[in-house]
Amino acid sequence: MCSELTFICTTDVLADPGSYGFDVDHCGETVEGFLVRRDGEYHAYRNSCPHTGSPLDWVEHQFLDMDGELIQCAVHDARFEIESGECVMGPCPGESLERLEISVQGENIYLRC
Ligand code: FES
């Protein structure tokens, strides 16, 4: 099993709550994703909305709603739970964002397989 780690960013680029979009080469694939931090926990998802497959953000690094409670797709306003990635409002209820595996080591956040 591959155990490659690819550096994404340092933790200080994320507010709490906050989000951060990234685009990295990992295991021979370009991965477009985003990180969400809330209550000190980090979550990562592929930047592809289950509704149409388009990126969720129109504003760079902005993936949360105004309250910082849910992930928001800017295209048709779907909302997703931060912890599970499940759509709870909008045009794709019950569908989910694709989770990405990450490793937080000190102040560094890595994508892992
Ligand atoms: S593309 Fe995300 S809600 Fe339609």
Q: What is the pLDDT of residues 92-104, one digit of tens each?
A: 999 999 999 999 9
Ligand 1 contacts (CB < 6 A) are: 49, 51-52, 54, 73, 75-76, 78, 90-91
- Given ligand 1 and candidates 46, 48, 51, which is best to mutate, with the most ligand atoms within 8 Å of its CB? 51
What letter would DSSP give residue 61? T
What type of residue sits at position 63? Answer: F
Tokens representing 16 are: 């709490």
56-70 residue pLDDT tens:
999 999 999 999 999
Q: Whose CA is nearest to atom 3 of ligand 1?
A: 76
For 69-83, how does the pLDDT look when each residue is reduced to its tens digit (9 = 90+)?
999 999 999 999 999
Rounded distance from Cα 8 to ligand 1 centre (Å): 25
113 pLDDT more than 90: no
- The pLDDT of residue 48 is 98
CA of 92, closest atom in ligand 1 = 3
Q: Say whether pLDDT at 1 is over 70.
A: no
Output the pLDDT for position 3: 81
pTM value? Answer: 0.96
Contact predicate 87/76, CB 8 Å = no
Q: Which amino acid is at 74?
A: A
For residues 91 and 53, give the distance between their C-alpha atoms in angstroms, rounded to a whole number: 13
Percent of the chain with pLDDT over 70: 98
Selected from 3.40.1350.10, 2.40.160.10, 2.102.10.10, 2.40.420.20, the CATH number assigned to the domain covering 5-101 reads: 2.102.10.10
Q: Could you give the percent of the chain with pLDDT greater than 90?
A: 96
- Ligand 1 atom with least separation from CA of 78: 3
